Amino acid sequence: MSQNTDLSPLFQPFACKSLKLRNRIVMSPMTRQFAPGGVLVEEVDDYYARRAAGGTGLIITEGTAVDHPVAHYSAKIPHFYGTSALARWRSVVAAVHAQGGAIVPQLWHTGLARRRSHTANPELPNISASALTEDDLTRDAANGTAPPSDKPRRPAEPMTIADIDAVIAAFAKGAADAKAVGCDGVAIHGAHGYLLDQFLWDRANRRDDSYGGSLENRIRFAVEIVAATRAAVGPDFAIMLRFSQWKSQDYTAKIGATPDALAAILQPLADAGVDVFDASTRRFWEPEFAGSPLNLAGWAKKLTGKAAMTVGSIGLDGEFLAGSGAATAGSSTARLGQLAEMVGRGDFDLAGVGRALIANPDWANLVKAGRFDALRPYDASAHVKTLEQTEAA
């Protein structure tokens, strides 16, 4: 990286309603599964607090299950409901605040992506917009050429109106609880082929009622969740919403193939109460539509006027950056100047850092100080299975 590269836009304060951030660096939500029975282990306090102490402005927690029987991905996913689980989240929030950081929980329902055999209630069927499995969607993405699963899954049960109402209420309750335990806002997971996205995505939503068919109908579920969340937390509590074009079952999928189509999805969500759009992409530097340099977060901000966050391989080395190998000033930091320039010109407001923050709790402070040679490369074998400070070894 050139000595003249200006990274200062990444370290300017940001404010949006209840969010008051010291900089634009955000820890993206990353599933860790250190919550047996849905209750976080005590080490999670230090895990998140270390990232706040390391200069991260905002922490978005790993996906947390809302209060619905089949919301969770596995038995080790943290709940955001229940006395014991919420007491642990209150402790995490206090630990992050003590280090000068802000924190919001990501509320999650996995729908047909739930791993029934890994849950505490595998006898209950998954639910979704339609009677499908993830294998069905994967075969669709491969034009029917994908081999059949060696462990066929039971199709999800199509959600009844009562199911829909119950899940909407669960998200609203989770948001109210987030406010009650002292969080700085709340984030809703509407991306990556999970439940909300299963309604948005035409391939996963094959309903013929008011929640399926037309785009207006397919977005209704997500819009009603946001509206109920807003009603539960009031006008001044920040609501974030994660969305994506890509799905876990199909990286090439799109819910909005043109700017107009994307606007038809995002604007009703903004009107319902979203303050910040978390636009999930795999590589933040890639333009979303031909003829414009804007990425997906840039388009979300342009189309709605709301704040936006980008994410996608920030701080990683290897094929995602203009270099390879270990982190150095000339390779794995090569994209940071581009990121700062995009923030500085107002394309989007926040930058979500994922795996690089697993490897480097002090990532923000190291980048701000220009200590790029101290950045440690992400190593899944060393960093995924523990919350301890092995990243400093």
What's the pLDDT band for 321 if we cut at 50, 70, 90?
Answer: very low
Q: Is 225 exposed, middle or buried (0-12, 13-18, 19+ CB in 10 A)?
A: buried
User: Residue 280 pLDDT > 50, yes or no?
Assistant: yes
In a domain, 3, yes or no: no
What's the pLDDT band for 135 if we cut at 50, 70, 90?
Answer: confident
User: Phi and psi for 255 in degrees, rounded to 5?
Assistant: -95, -20
Mean pLDDT of the region 195-209: 97
- Does residue 205 contact residue 212 with C-beta atoms inside 8 Å? yes
User: Residue 220 pLDDT > 80, yes or no?
Assistant: yes
Convert the pLDDT of each residue in 33-74 to its tens digit: 899 999 999 999 999 999 999 999 999 999 999 999 999 999
User: Residue 25 pLDDT > 60, yes or no?
Assistant: yes
pLDDT (0 to 100) of residue 165: 98
In a domain, 97, yes or no: yes
Mean pLDDT of the region 241-268: 95
Instruction: Give the helix ranges, DSSP H, for 103-152.
Output: 134-141
User: Residue 328 pLDDT > 60, yes or no?
Assistant: no
Q: 12 or 387: which carries more pLDDT confidence?
A: 12
pLDDT (0 to 100) of residue 138: 80
In a domain, 175, yes or no: yes
Question: Residue 367 region, left (φ>0) first, then alpha (ψ -120 to 50), else beta?
Answer: alpha
In a domain, 147, yes or no: yes
User: Residue 158 pLDDT > 60, yes or no?
Assistant: yes
- Structural domain boundaries enclosing 93: 8-392
- 47's CB contacts (< 8 A; 6+ apart) are 32, 34, 387
User: Which of these is catalytic: 194, 211, 251, 378?
Assistant: 194
Mean pLDDT taken over the chain: 90
Q: 319 or 91: which carries more pLDDT confidence?
A: 91
User: Phi and psi for 41 in degrees, rounded to 5?
Assistant: -70, 160
In a domain, 100, yes or no: yes
User: Residue 322 pLDDT > 50, yes or no?
Assistant: no
User: Residue 226 pLDDT > 50, yes or no?
Assistant: yes
User: Phi and psi for 392 in degrees, rounded to 5?
Assistant: -90, -5
Q: Tokens at residue 81, please?
A: 């409901």
Distance CA 103, CA 183 (A): 6
Distance CA 361, CA 175 (A): 27
In a domain, 40, yes or no: yes
Please indicate whether residue 194 is annotated as part of the active site: yes
Q: Tokens at residue 296, please?
A: 């997906």
Helix-helix angle 259-272:296-304, to 10 degrees:
60
Distance CA 168, CA 66 (A): 10
User: Residue 206 pLDDT > 70, yes or no?
Assistant: yes
Look up the CATH number of the domain holding residue 349: 3.20.20.70
Mean pLDDT of the region 329-334: 54
Q: Is 328 exposed, middle or buried (0-12, 13-18, 19+ CB in 10 A)?
A: middle
In a domain, 1, yes or no: no
In a domain, 381, yes or no: yes
pLDDT (0 to 100) of residue 318: 44
- Does residue 196 contact residue 228 with C-beta atoms inside 8 Å? no
**Number of domains composing the chain:** 1
